[in-house]
Amino acid sequence: MGSRAHTGGLAATAAVVVAVVSALAVAGCAGPGATGTPEPADVPDYRCADEPVPPAVLDGGRSAATLGEHGQAALRGEEVPAIEPADWLVVSESDRWVALIRELDAPQVRGAGDVRTHEILTVQRDVAADAASGWWLSMSGECTLRRDVGEGVATLTLDPDHAPDPASTQVAVLVTEQSCNSGEDAEGRVMLVELTESSDVVDLVVVVAPRGGDQSCPSNPATPFVVELDAPWGDRVVRDAAVVPPRELEPAG
């Protein structure tokens, strides 16, 4: 089904669009020295924060209770929080990098479409250190499980200033860039890279082309964006399909 999108002053180049779309079709790389089961080329990794997560990890992956020598040493590393290994899944384990993930008991709603669904824990080791030492915490915190769209991650809500109109072929959303952007909006850099319409669902994948350069990291304001549908909205549910699983959009507020 054909589709198009527009926003005021949209000026992204075709090269940037191709780069972002290409990111949807390739698997990411794990942390330093990480090993794991290779994924088929047509099954992109998910990501939680900056960590690639192969889909197989979430579908029958092994428990952190089965960690080997390196993984057990990593959990004793500097500043690594105490965990219950049976509650976590192994994303990757090597002599230099260990990554674990678990689903939160309940999603954490942060606002502006930011809903955290998982917790990630990564630990790395100084390669020159003894195998049983030199491990230190790299990252720990809540994250949103997403398809790997590379740079340009954004959260979405429906625009409360434009109530859904069943007869309209336009969906007005608010897009909040997650990368550092010095507290400015993403005008001219918002892109719709995937639109799937069916009789009951409209799925969107929206990204923000990176601004480039050095940016500070205060919260970014939302940017209005309008998606053009091939058929009237009707009573269809609009979802953010960049997150896993796709999540129904709600008005900002």
Instruction: Give per-residue pLDDT as tens, 177-199.
Output: 987 877 888 899 999 999 999 99
The answer to whether residue 166 scores a pLDDT higher than 50 is yes
Closest CA to 147 of 48, 32, 249, 12: 48
**% of the chain exceeding 90 in pLDDT:** 67
The DSSP-derived string for 122-149 is: EEEE-TTS-TTS-EEEEEEEEE-EEE--
pLDDT level of residue 22 (50, 70, 90 thresholds): very low
pLDDT level of residue 131 (50, 70, 90 thresholds): low
DSSP code at position 160:
T
| Weakest-pLDDT range from 87-96, 143-152, 170-179, 209-218 | 209-218
Burial annotation 217-239 (CB, 10 A radius, 16+ → b, else e): eeebebbbbbbebeeebeebebb
Angstrom distances, CA of residue 76 to CA of 30, 81, 122, 160, 248: 21, 9, 12, 48, 40
- 20 near 209, Cβ under 8 Å? yes
Evaluate the CA torsion angle 214, 220, 226, 231 in order and state its sign.
positive
| Residue matched to tokens 């969107």 | 204
Which pLDDT score, from 0 to 100, does residue 42 have? Answer: 54
pLDDT level of residue 14 (50, 70, 90 thresholds): very low
Q: Over the chain, what is the mean pLDDT?
A: 83
**Alpha-carbon span 148 to 153, nearest angstrom:** 9
Which pLDDT score, from 0 to 100, does residue 129 have? Answer: 60
How crowded is residue 25: how many other Cβ atoms within 10 Å of its Cβ? 11
Closest CA to 116 of 127, 126, 103: 103
Alpha helices in the chain (DSSP H): 14-23, 55-58, 69-75
The answer to whether residue 172 scores a pLDDT higher than 70 is yes
SS3 170: strand
Cβ burial of 96 (10 Å; 0-12, 13-18, 19+) is: buried
Which pLDDT score, from 0 to 100, does residue 121 have? Answer: 98
CA atoms within 13 A on the CB side of 120: 25
